[in-house]
Amino acid sequence: MNADMGMVIPPWALSEQSGLLEAAVGESGLDRIVVPAVSGVVRSLRLSGGQPETFVSDAGWHYPADASRYANTRLKPRLARWFGGRHPLESAAQRAAQRGIRLTLRFDLLACASAQDWPAVRRKNAWGQERPDRAACPMNADLRQLLDDTLGELEQFDPAGYEIDDWCGALDGGAPPLTPLPLCNSLLDVCFCESCRQAALGAGVDAESAARSVRVGLEAALKDASSPGARRVADDAMIRAYRDVRGAQQRAWLERVAARHDARVRRCRLPAGSAPAGSATGSSRAGWAPLIEYTPGDRGTFERFPAALNVAFWRPGFADAAALVRFVRALADAGVSYVDFDGADESPPEALDWLRQALRYARRE
Ligand SMILES: [Zn+2]
């Protein structure tokens, strides 16, 4: 199996005492560690140390971002406060480099949506209601600048790749899935924030008409997904035009970002339900390819999207080591080329043995 294998280790679990970084090196069969440098609110029960320990953090930048790099950015990085005077990324990057393991860095757009005083970056639904529970809208110019500057700052750690969490719209092909509940979700997620509306108007698309179509279609779909009104919305030309404008502008921007930041691998992490059709073949758009969230027990996920997966490798997804071994072999058979194994910090040390075993079998094939 030649897939590129990574293990997600959050910054608060990168210390030498946790031993996770060291466990990812050598005989483990892993190529990379994946570090969420910027994330949403954290509530985790850590088991990796052997004893349960809760860890709580504000959303934000999990390293002391250098203010001088953000002089021209209207929104400034918000530091998560748990790390005090330390620089978790710097020391981890050094240790990773010394041990010959690569580093992938993640930026989660949820980090920005939950900030109380940044309402403009939040997605808005077709009723104009803000969505602080969803990732920030990447059509917002201030958010883009902040993301761009953050990637610029992260370059000092010489990452092998970047992953952006929850950038659904960027890879949006415009066609919503046809099953009933995903249709509702996909309509709820069509963003009508000021930036999105302006982009649509600039391209000659009537944002208000699109919003009206979404409201009418969604109400019909929620009552009865098989009603004519609900079926019509799946094919609504106005909604399609609106989504296409956003999709095209986001791809164009991502392309520019890709050209500016010289990482070799770039991925946008998406839940399977919002994955675009193109991800079924693993096609890369604008230099960024999708990374699909594996739903425990849903073997169909990688059969539908045999490209790149994020997989929580402990319970409840897998009952024992043998189950994980079988799963990783099935990934290899399906031609999955990129996997992030997630949840190391919230699993007991035994989980690492499972993973080692699974990777050893898969590499032998
Ligand atoms: Zn928007």
Whether residue 251 lies inside any domain: the answer is: no
Residue 274 is encoded by which pair of tokens? Answer: 């919002």
Whether residue 108 lies inside any domain: the answer is: yes
CA of residue 98 to ligand 1 center, whole Å: 42
CA of residue 167 to ligand 1 center, whole Å: 11
CA of residue 149 to ligand 1 center, whole Å: 20
Helices (H) and strands (E) in the chain, counts: 12, 13
* 292-302 pLDDT, tens digit each: 888 777 777 77
CA of residue 293 to ligand 1 center, whole Å: 23
Q: How far apart are CA 317 and CA 10, in angstroms?
A: 20
CA of residue 170 to ligand 1 center, whole Å: 11
CA of residue 358 to ligand 1 center, whole Å: 41
Whether residue 52 lies inside any domain: the answer is: yes
Whether residue 210 lies inside any domain: the answer is: no
DSSP E strands in the chain: the ranges are 4-8, 32-39, 42-46, 53-57, 60-61, 102-108, 123-124, 130-131, 161-165, 265-271, 289-293, 308-312, 338-342
CB of 28 within 8 A of CB of 99?
A: no
Q: How far apart are CA 113 and CA 134, in angstroms?
A: 7
CA of residue 283 to ligand 1 center, whole Å: 24
CA of residue 58 to ligand 1 center, whole Å: 24
Judged against a pLDDT cut of 80, whether residue 183 lies above it is answered with no
Q: What is the pLDDT of residue 232?
A: 82
Whether residue 194 lies inside any domain: the answer is: no
* 236-295 pLDDT, tens digit each: 899 989 988 988 888 888 888 888 887 677 787 766 655 554 444 434 556 778 788 887
CA of residue 123 to ligand 1 center, whole Å: 5
CA of residue 83 to ligand 1 center, whole Å: 32
Q: What is the CATH number of the domain that holds 353?
A: 3.20.20.80
Counted domains in the chain: 1
Please choose, from the candidates 147, 82, 105, the residue with its C-alpha nearest in 3D space to the C-alpha of residue 264.
105
**Full residue range of the structural domain in which residue 308 is found:** 4-172+256-364
CA of residue 324 to ligand 1 center, whole Å: 39
Whether residue 222 lies inside any domain: the answer is: no
CA of residue 195 to ligand 1 center, whole Å: 6
CA of residue 31 to ligand 1 center, whole Å: 36
Please choose, from the candidates 270, 268, 286, the residue with its C-alpha nearest in 3D space to the C-alpha of residue 106.
268
Whether residue 246 lies inside any domain: the answer is: no
Q: What is the pLDDT of residue 132?
A: 83
Distances (CA, A) of 15 to 68, 70, 83, 108, 313: 27, 27, 11, 22, 21
Q: What is the pLDDT of residue 124?
A: 93
CA of residue 139 to ligand 1 center, whole Å: 5
CA of residue 198 to ligand 1 center, whole Å: 9
Q: How far apart are CA 244 and CA 172, in angstroms?
A: 8
CA of residue 286 to ligand 1 center, whole Å: 19
* 100-122 pLDDT, tens digit each: 999 999 999 989 987 788 999 99
Whether residue 164 lies inside any domain: the answer is: yes
Q: What is the pLDDT of residue 33?
A: 96
